[in-house]
């Protein structure tokens, strides 16, 4: 169980919380060819949240979408979660594209 003991830190923990944010991110990516920055200042996240926010983008748009995303003010924990989700979803994307089942 994730318990927030610091009122200055906002926890984003569910896929449902990520869906509207991912849609905003998709709209921003569609409106411009510029990079979009996601600022994690004052937040902590769960793997489920990041998977819905970033992992789904990788599966839908492919790994090149990462070239247009920037991440700021990430704690070491958030960075680790992002790295894990990104590597996992790139592997899933590559397996799906090649017709192989992920192990």
Predicted TM-score (pTM) of the model is: 0.84
Instruction: Provide the 10 A C-beta neighbour count for residue 3.
Output: 5
**Of 37, 42, 39, 46, which is closest to residue 16 (Cα–Cα)?**
46
DSSP-derived secondary structure letter, 20: H
Residue 76 covered by a domain: yes
Residue 3 covered by a domain: no
Counting the structural domains of the chain, the total is: 1
DSSP strand pairing (10-12 vs 43-45):
parallel
Residue 1 covered by a domain: no
Q: How far is CA 44 from CA 2, 23, 32, 41, 48, in A?
A: 10, 20, 28, 9, 12
* Tens-binned pLDDT, residue by residue, of the chain (103 aa): 333 345 555 677 889 899 999 999 999 999 999 999 999 988 889 999 999 999 999 999 999 999 999 999 999 999 999 999 999 999 999 998 877 665 5
Residue 103 covered by a domain: no
> Whole domain around residue 30: which residue ranges?
10-98
């Amino acid at each position: 169980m994730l318990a927030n003991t610091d009122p200055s830190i906002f926890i984003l923990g569910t896929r449902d919380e990520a869906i509207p944010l991912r849609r905003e991110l998709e709209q921003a990516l569609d409106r411009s060819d510029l990079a979009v920055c996601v600022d994690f200042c004052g937040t902590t996240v769960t793997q489920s949240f990041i998977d819905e926010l970033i992992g789904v983008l990788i599966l839908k748009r492919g790994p090149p979408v990462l070239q247009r995303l920037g991440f700021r003010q990430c704690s070491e924990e958030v960075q680790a979660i992002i790295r894990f989700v990104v590597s996992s979803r790139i592997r899933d994307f590559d397996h799906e594209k090649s017709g192989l089942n992920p192990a």
